[in-house]
């Protein structure tokens, strides 16, 4: 089959990690008989440098005309005045919010699991880690506080800032459906996270999630308040399977969940629309301090490409081949510096990509 992929290399380490993910995709293409056509699209700081805005209409259009989008990372040091001494809607990160909205990517899937080989990097105590954990954060991505009306103005002589948290039942229902669909293929447990003891939007969230749950009798639903969830994540992470939550809570909790895996350089993510279209990116940022040094870990981006094969192209076998190759590379003790441990062999970004490609060939 042939697939059109819009590629947003972005800023910082983006170009190097995306290069390795493309290398792995091309190897998959060669081994399994697919062709991936890439179109480079500018977004973030690199788009500001060329066009003065973080995302152009044309760039969005190119993404829309593709079968999926592969993204590295956007943004840089806030000290970079060219990118940050401008209105908030012109900064690199605004490109990310705009493309999510523009492509209707309301469902953000962020897996967080502990690799046995990397358990030593987990900051939790051994008795809490137990047999490890494997959860998926399902974050609503195009509603809530990040997209509500906002302004700052003087009211009665006092500077006042307003951000609005709005959800309608349709927005809640569609993300809940995705969460239950995924839970059905996993351990069949959804924990819906809200702040229903205070917020109206959370009370509607809870009501709609309960309605959706009725269509999934095999999936167990429970509710958790967000403050408690933040605590439970570091107290008993194994209790979580699918965590369903709104935009800002998901933003915060997914960072916490990724931190306890001890290896944020390993975690992929997918943002999906109503259908098969998705944008795939590592969960980590652009790490400008290590950009261009060939030391960044490309695995999160490579695993994001695997998620693309699975969720957008239905290429489950090919996706599993990549995931197995990553496990193998770890068990062989091949490590980038962020996950380096005693007795292992340290490699750079390029060599990690090459090692994964070699394993793909051997395993075929």
Give the residues lining the site for Mg ion (CB under 5 A).
Answer: 251
Nearest distance, CB of residue 96 and ligand IPM, angstroms: 5
Stretch that binds ligand IPM, among 29-37, 93-101, 202-210, 231-239 (CB under 6 A): 93-101
What is the DSSP secondary-structure string of 78-146?
TT-HHHHSS-GGGSHHHHHHHHHHHTT--EEEEEEE--GGGGGG--S-HHHHTT--EEEEEEE-SSGGG
> Which residue bears the tokens 């990549």?
322
Using CB under 6 A, pick the residue from 11, 16, 20, 93 that binds ligand IPM: 93
Distances from the Cα of 158 to the Cαs of 152, 153, 161, 173, in angstroms? 10, 8, 10, 39
Nearest distance, CB of residue 97 and Mg ion, angstroms: 11
Which of these is catalytic: 23, 27, 178, 195? 195
Rounded to whole angstroms, the Cα distance separating 31 from 11 reads 31
Rama region for 294: left / alpha / beta (φ>0; ψ in -120 to 50; rest): left
Q: Please report whether residue 96 would count as binding ligand IPM according to CB under 6 A.
A: yes
Using CB under 6 A, pick the residue from 11, 67, 140, 251 that binds ligand IPM: 251
Residue with Cβ nearer ligand IPM (246 or 251): 251
227 is catalytic: yes
Rounded to whole angstroms, the Cα distance separating 183 from 138 reads 10
Which of these is catalytic: 146, 167, 216, 280? 146
314 is catalytic: no
16 is in the binding site of which of Mg ion, ligand IPM, none (Cβ under 5 to 8 A by kind)? Answer: none
Q: Which two tokens stand for residue 198?
A: 């205070």
Residue nearest to ligand IPM (CB): 93
Which of these is catalytic: 26, 163, 255, 294? 255
Residues tagged active-site:
146, 195, 227, 251, 255
**Which positions touch ligand IPM (CB under 6 A)?**
93, 96-97, 251
């Amino acid at each position: 089959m042939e697939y059109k992929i819009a590629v947003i290399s972005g800023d910082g380490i983006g170009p190097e990690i995306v290069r390795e993910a493309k290398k792995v995709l091309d190897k998959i293409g060669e081994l399994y008989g697919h062709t991936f056509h890439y179109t480079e699209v500018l977004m973030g700081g690199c788009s500001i440098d060329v066009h003065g805005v973080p995302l152009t209409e044309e760039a969005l259009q190119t993404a829309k005309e593709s079968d999926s989008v592969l993204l590295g990372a956007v943004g840089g040091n806030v000290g970079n005045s060219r990118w940050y001494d401008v209105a908030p809607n012109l900064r690199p990160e605004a490109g990310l919010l705009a493309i999510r909205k523009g492509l209707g990517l309301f469902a953000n899937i962020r897996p967080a699991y502990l690799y046995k080989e990397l358990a030593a990097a987990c900051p939790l105590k051994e008795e809490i880690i137990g047999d490890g954990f494997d959860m998926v954060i399902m974050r609503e991505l195009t509603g809530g506080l990040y997209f509500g009306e906002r302004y700052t103005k003087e009211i009665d002589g006092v500077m006042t800032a307003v951000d609005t948290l709005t959800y309608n039942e349709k927005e809640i229902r569609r993300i809940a459906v995705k969460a239950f669909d995924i839970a059905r293929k996993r351990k069949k447990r959804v924990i819906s996270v809200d702040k229903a003891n205070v917020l109206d939007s959370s009370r509607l969230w809870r009501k709609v999630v309960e309605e959706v749950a009725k269509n999934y009798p095999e999936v167990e639903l429970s509710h958790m308040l967000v403050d408690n969830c933040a605590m439970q994540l570091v107290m008993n992470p194994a209790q979580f399977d699918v965590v369903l939550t709104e935009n800002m809570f998901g933003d915060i909790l997914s960072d916490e969940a990724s931190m306890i895996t001890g290896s944020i350089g390993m975690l992929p993510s997918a943002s999906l629309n109503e259908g098969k279209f998705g944008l795939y990116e590592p969960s980590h940022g652009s790490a400008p301090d290590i950009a261009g040094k060939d030391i960044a870990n490309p695995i999160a981006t490579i695993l994001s490409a695997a998620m693309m094969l699975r969720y957008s192209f239905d290429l489950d076998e090919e996706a599993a081949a990549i995931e197995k190759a990553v496990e193998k590379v770890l068990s062989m003790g091949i490590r980038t510096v962020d996950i380096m441990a005693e007795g292992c062999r340290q490699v750079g970004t390029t060599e990690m990509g090459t090692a994964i490609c070699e394993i793909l060939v051997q395993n075929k």
